[in-house]
Amino acid sequence: MASAAIFSSLRRRRSPSLEAFLAPVDLSDVALVQILVSVTAEIASSFSDKFFSFQKRNSRSLVRKVEIFLVLLEYLRDSGSALPWTAVICLKELYLLLYRSKILLDYCAQSSKLWLLLQNQPISGHFHDLNKEISTLLDVFPMEDVELGEDVREQIELLQRQARRAKLFIDEGDEELRVKFFSFLDEFEKGRVPDSADLWLFFAERLGIRDAKSCRNEIEFLEEQIINHEGDVEPTVSVLNGFVAFTRYCRFLLFGFEEDEVELGIGNNQRKPRKGLITQEIAETFITIPKDFCCPISLDLMREPVIVSTGQTYDRSSISRWLEEGHCTCPKTGQMLPNARLVPNRALRNLIMQWCTAYGIPYDPPECTEASAESFAAASPSKAALAANKATAGLLIQRLEDGSPCAQTIAAREIRLLAKTGRENRAFIAEAGAIPHLCKLLSSPNSVAQENSVTAMLNLSIYDKNKSRIMDEGCLGSIVDVLRFGHTTEARENAAATLFSLSAVHDYKKRIADEEGAIEALAGLLREGTPRGKKDAVTALFNLSTHTENCARMVEAGAVTALVSALGNEGVAEEAAGALALVVRQPTGAKAVGKEDTAVAGLVGMMRCGTPRGKENAVAALLELCRSGGAAATERVVKAPALAGLLQTLLFTGTKRARRKAASLARVFQRCENAAAMHFGGLGVGYAFAGNSAANRDSSFASDVAVPMSISVPVL
């Protein structure tokens, strides 16, 4: 426990927790000395012959000091003499010092070579701190009160004198390599690509990084440091991102793809899990968003956090909608808002961007706002990182074009990683011509190649300008084929998410719906997919349903039936109700929904147990079903059990739009005299009250349907 805590704190350059430094208590002198002998002997045996790539002199010096302490402790153990209380206190302090020494030596032996270079000066400072503590310990150790052999006493006194004279030592060779490392990054910063011979000399000859696997391990370790990074630590996240980009470029330039070809298992389509934290499959294990990063209104990750006058933070779109609905109170505290001013919470936004960068989650803040115009120095890509990524993209696209099937698969995977964050990366990858080559890989018989290429296409499509590139290159048919016949579940889900992303452009909605098998496959995924697959499918269907000409196609393809069935699934019910509310605006859609036995019951159930947005969508769908479905559909809605009480609740507690829709639905009932007399005789006052704010049918209904526009982008 102590080892892990101190090692973690050293990596993050943060003061370790107290639990990491608990010395033994309530032990006899003999037991304490025996424990110290064991700890000291372990350190001496573990590191006396250990090879240290860096910090050689500091490490050897510390090991020799520990070996001298071992001589002292073994003498105390063998003599069995009683120790004065001052000596016992010193030995307990020695216990802590020894453990810190062990962790520091472990750190230097196990850490990435590049990271040790970057941290050369701070780590040297850690060794110097230990030397000073050894000196202090020996100064207060009661040598006169402890019986020691003459040879042991001489060694301790010599160690004491050496510790007093010790100065901070920074290895000149290590420091020269660190400066050289930064100089390569500076070359990219100035728009120049370093000479490949110099890079080989640095990585292979000076650092001993001679294969793709070692280079990849270095990259993963640096990526972990980005995850663990704290704002006041050097180098900054921006600089670390630059080093990751530079090292990735060198990995492909110097070592090619051979090592990966062996590990990828192309012949048997087996995938090996990657070990780096930054590269874990988010799609397989959903990430829990920190509570403070979620908007209290929408419960979604905030894209543009703003502060209201009460000091609470909300996403701009959610709080703006709240204010537009006529509310004048803080949603979280209930306090009156003296003004409607929204102040950007830049500090929180920076933290969200850093978190998204660390976990590979696309985060493109709104482009037209004041807050988004500011750059986040700690997480935004530096000029050097962009230049290195561009150079890497060139190598990868060349492999996509003329490489072996193995190399093409690896190149697609790396493009997928490059495209997972940052509009700059997505822009230059597409501009360099990656999309046509990725499109060809979509039909690959290899499952790994197909999954990487479709996910790369998804990540690229997040950048708006790439949507037209994807459609113009004729990739739609291939994406739909992956959705229908993909080799893996992940590939099919990512194809659905890609269609959702592309359908954000209105002109593409009809083209997607008309593509053979597209809607059928989305409906099938909604019925039988994983939770994430269902989410991707329902959001894509919602987007397609906003185009009025797609209604008949959705009915024909069975999407309506799938949407009705999804009303019982808590994870997608809200979006399904929103899509149905749009579909039933067309007589064809209303007729199809009316034929579904569970449609009305499912929508009523959402009004009872759904989210505020889900209730809003459900009552809107019922209203449109009455308007477009004819007398038979209206009768089915009117006779729905418990609808009267649910409507009355919405009239007083629902959102502004929900109240408006509920009031409109009440007026529809009032025109049905028999139904009104049977079911709604006691609600006239409520309807009259709410009806004053809802005079006419909304001209643009799609804007009244509240559905969170979010997709899951997996990263490998």
Which overall architecture, per CATH, does domain 554-676 show? Alpha Horseshoe (1.25)
pLDDT cut 90: percent of the chain above it: 27
CA end-to-end distance (rounded Å), the chain? 30
Mean pLDDT, the chain, rounded, equals 80
- Per-residue model confidence (pLDDT) at position 202: 92
Q: Taking 90 as the threshold, does the pLDDT of residue 440 lie above it?
A: yes
DSSP state letter for 314: E
The per-residue pLDDT for 711 is: 36
Q: Which residue has the higher pLDDT, 385 or 228?
A: 385
Angle at 606 between CA 605 and CA 608, to 5 degrees: 65
Share above pLDDT 70 across residues of the chain, in percent, rounded to a whole number: 81
- Whether the predicted pLDDT of 93 surpasses 80: yes
How far apart CA 98 and CA 592 sit, in angstroms, is 76
Among residues 102, 21, 30, the alpha carbon closest in space to that of 73 is found at: 30
* Residue keyed to tokens 């080989």: 200
Lowest mean pLDDT among 21-35, 449-463, 593-607, 626-640: 21-35
Residue 442 has pLDDT above 70, yes or no: yes
Query: What is the average per-residue pLDDT within 570-575?
Result: 86
Judged against a pLDDT cut of 70, whether residue 335 lies above it is answered with yes
Residues 501-507 have a mean pLDDT of: 89
CA angle centred on 388, ends 387 and 391, rounded to 5°: 90
Q: What is the pLDDT of residue 63?
A: 93
Tell me the CATH class for 302-359: alpha beta
Q: Name the band, by pLDDT with cuts 50, 70 and 90, for residue 361.
A: low
The values of phi and psi at residue 315, to 5°, are -75, 140
Task: Work out the average pLDDT over 519-527.
Answer: 92
Which residue type sits at 402? Answer: D
703 has a pLDDT exceeding 70: no
**Lowest-pLDDT choice from 234-238, 270-274, 522-526, 539-543:** 270-274
Q: CA of 271: how far to CAs of 43, 252, 275, 410, 419, in Å?
A: 39, 20, 12, 12, 21
Which residues share a beta bridge with 86?
none
Cα angle 466, 470, 472; round to 5? 110
Residues 6+ apart with CB under 8 A from 95: 23, 24, 32, 35, 36, 39
pLDDT of residue 696: 41
Average pLDDT in the 33-39 region? 89
Q: Concatenate the DSSP letters of all residues of 184-247 into one string.
A: HHHHHHTT-PPPHHHHHIIIIIIS---SHHHHHHHHHHHHHHHHT--TTSSSPHHHHHHHHHHH
What does the alpha-carbon distance between residue 236 and residue 172 come to, in Å, rounded to a whole number?
Answer: 24
Global pTM exceeds 0.85:
no
Q: Where are the domains of the chain?
A: 4-170, 302-359, 554-676
The answer to whether the beta carbons of residues 96 and 21 sit under 8 Å apart is: yes
pLDDT at 484: 92
- Distance (Å, whole) CA 237 – CA 350: 12
Among 353-357, 582-586, 621-625, 663-667, the least confident range: 353-357
pLDDT tens readout for residues 671-697: 764 544 544 444 443 443 333 333 344
Residue 82 or 697, more confident: 82
Q: Is the pLDDT of residue 447 over 80?
A: yes
CA dist list (Å): 231 to 12, 14, 98, 235, 239: 11, 11, 30, 10, 12
Residue for token digits 């986040």? 376
Give the range among 44-58, 66-80, 213-227, 231-245 with minimum mean pLDDT. 231-245
Q: Cα 558 vs. chain centroid, distance in angstroms? A: 34
Q: CA angle, corner 32, sides to 27 and 38, nearest 5? A: 140
Confidence of residue 25 (pLDDT cuts 50, 70, 90): low
* 129-137 average pLDDT score: 91
Q: What is the pLDDT of residue 691?
A: 39
Among the residue ranges 164-178, 181-195, 486-500, 642-656, the one predicted with the least confidence is 642-656
Weakest mean pLDDT among 11-15, 29-33, 355-359, 563-567? 11-15
pLDDT given for residue 697 in this prediction: 40
The DSSP-derived string for 393-441 is HHHHHHHHHHS-HHHHHHHHHHHHHHTTS-HHHHHHHHHTTHHHHHHHH
Closest residue by Cα to residue 305 from 364, 365, 357: 365
d(CA 630, CA 627): 7
- Rounded mean pLDDT, 7-22: 42
d(CA 234, CA 240): 9
Q: Quick one: average pLDDT of 160-185?
A: 90
pLDDT attached to residue 356: 77
Q: What is the 3-state secondary structure (H, E, C) of 255-306?
A: HCCHHHHHHHCHHHCCCCCCCCHHHCCCCCCCCCCCHHHECCCCCCECCCEE
Q: Which positions ≥6 away from 257 have C-beta within 8 Å? A: 212, 399, 403, 406, 407, 410, 411
In tens, the pLDDT along 95-112 reads 889 988 998 999 898 888
* Residue listed under structure tokens 């032996």: 109
Buried b (16+ CB within 10 A) or exposed e, 52-74: bebbeebbebbbebbbbbbbbbb
305-307 and 313-315 strand pairing: antiparallel
Please give the average per-residue pLDDT across 528-543, as a whole number.
Answer: 89
Find how far residue 57's CA is from the centre of its chain.
40
Q: Is the pLDDT of residue 19 over 80?
A: no
* Best CA proximity match to 603, nearest among 630, 576, 583, 585: 576
Nearest to 537 by CA among 516, 559, 514: 559
Which stretch of DSSP H or E encloses residue 313?
A: strand 313-315
Residue 481, pLDDT above cutoff 50: yes
pLDDT at 299: 75
Q: What is the pLDDT of residue 26?
A: 57
User: Residue 287's pLDDT band (boundaries 50, 70, 90)?
Assistant: low
Residues 574-581 have a mean pLDDT of 90
Answer yes or no: are the C-beta atoms of 134 and 69 closer than 8 Å: no
3-state secondary structure (DSSP) of residue 370: coil
Report the amino acid identity of residue 413: R
Q: What pLDDT score was predicted for residue 477?
A: 94
Distance CA 638, CA 399 (A): 63
Q: How confident is the model at residue 648 (pLDDT cuts 50, 70, 90)?
A: confident
What's the pLDDT score for residue 360?
A: 62
Sequence-distant (≥ 6) Cβ neighbours of residue 271 within 8 angstroms: 264, 265, 448
CA dihedral 546, 548, 552, 555 (to 10 degrees): 20
What pLDDT shows up at residue 522?
Answer: 93
Give the pLDDT confidence score for residue 145 in this predicted structure: 85
Res. 571 pLDDT band, cuts 50 70 90: confident
Cis peptide bond N-terminal to 235, omega within 30: yes
Counted residue by residue, the chain has a size of 716
135 close to 163: Cβ distance less than 8 angstroms: yes
* Radius of gyration, CA atoms only, the chain: 33
pLDDT given at position 364: 59
600 falls in which pLDDT band (50, 70, 90)? Answer: confident
Asked if 294 and 317 count as a contact pair (C-beta separation under 8 A), the reply is no
The whole-angstrom separation of Cα 599 and Cα 471 is 35
Nearest to 254 by CA among 302, 184, 190: 184
What is the distance between the alpha carbons of residues 388 and 133, in angstroms, rounded to a whole number? 43
Closest CA to 168 of 86, 89, 58, 303: 58
Highest mean pLDDT among 234-243, 261-270, 281-290: 234-243
Bridge partners, 600 (sequence order) = none
